[in-house]
Amino acid sequence: MCKIVAYMRISTEEERGKQKFTRQEQAIERWQKENNVKIADRRIYKDDASGESFDRPSWKELEDDINTGDTIIFKEISRFTRERDNGYIKYMDLLNNGVNLIFLDNPTLNTSYIKDLQCNADKMKEDNIIGGMTMEFIIKLLIVTELDRVEKERKTIVKRIVDGINASDKKSGRKEGQLDKMTPELEADIKKFLADRSIKQVDLMKKYNLSRNTLKKYVKIIANQK
């Protein structure tokens, strides 16, 4: 029997501390009510991880759980991935294996919609192979363009953070590049902050007892290492 599962992902400190999975949970709950469906708690998978790869604990469990004909519900495409190329490969792999994907905020990426377009392209090729091939290209472009958008959003966020630090950083007597208070935990949190706005500056300051200028200096150094 085909089953329905839900997947949620967060990666920001603001979400962890305040909203957590709330917005995603509410959206998926509304979908269940509107469609008279109940997703079992054990079929709701949640990851607190970056969307830059699919190397996420709950996602791996989900992939082990799903089969042909099953359906995965997401609030939006960015919960699925924030990486264009591997995201496209994963999307097509799931689609070609008969797994249905539903993105509540991005319905044109639902696999049912894409399959309808593919069906129309196949019919078109029977009479006009060039027209059919053009339609196939448009389908790929639709998927890749949306995945490219969410990837660029992530890169834009990182750039704005770094630019803001560079613009406001006040030089101190500390030697450039010195990390005398850096710990592996702080370095990991800063990398998350740069990658996905994972941690608010004020939260890092409180957690590690750092001044704003010291934290900005550390963030700048880590950002320039990339």
What DSSP element (H or E) covers 73? strand 71-74
Side chain identity at residue 17, one-letter code: G
* Residue 182: predicted pLDDT: 72
Number of Cβ within 10 Å of residue 61's Cβ equals 12
pLDDT in tens, 103-151: 999 999 999 999 999 999 988 888 888 888 888 888 989 999 988 888 8
CA 77, CA 147: separation in Å to the nearest integer? 8
Cβ(198)–Cβ(11) below 8 Å: yes
pLDDT band at 164 (very low <50, low <70, confident <90, very high): low
Handedness of CA 85, 89, 92, 98 (dihedral sign): negative
Residue 181: helix, strand or coil by DSSP?
coil
Q: What is the pTM of this model?
A: 0.67
CA 39, CA 73: separation in Å to the nearest integer? 10
Cβ(27)–Cβ(75) below 8 Å: yes
Scan for tokens 């979908």, then name that residue: 31
Cβ-proximal residues to 49 (8 Å cutoff; 6+ apart), any chain: 9, 11, 56, 57
* Residue 79: predicted pLDDT: 93
Number of Cβ within 10 Å of residue 142's Cβ equals 15
pLDDT band at 12 (very low <50, low <70, confident <90, very high): low
Taking residues 33-40, what's their average pLDDT?
A: 96
Query: Is the pLDDT at 2 greater than 70, yes or no?
Result: yes
Query: Is the pLDDT at 29 greater than 80, yes or no?
Result: yes
Taking residues 189-204, what's their average pLDDT?
A: 73
CA 70, CA 64: separation in Å to the nearest integer? 12
Burial of 109 (0-12, 13-18, 19+ CB in 10 A): buried
pLDDT in tens, 48-98: 888 888 999 999 999 999 999 999 999 999 999 989 999 999 999 999 999
The percentage of the chain sitting over the pLDDT mark of 90, rounded to a whole number, equals: 44
Q: Are strands 44-48 and 71-74 parallel, antiparallel or unpaired?
A: unpaired
Phi, psi of 200 (to 5 degrees): -70, 145
CA 58, CA 47: separation in Å to the nearest integer? 6
Cβ(6)–Cβ(187) below 8 Å: no
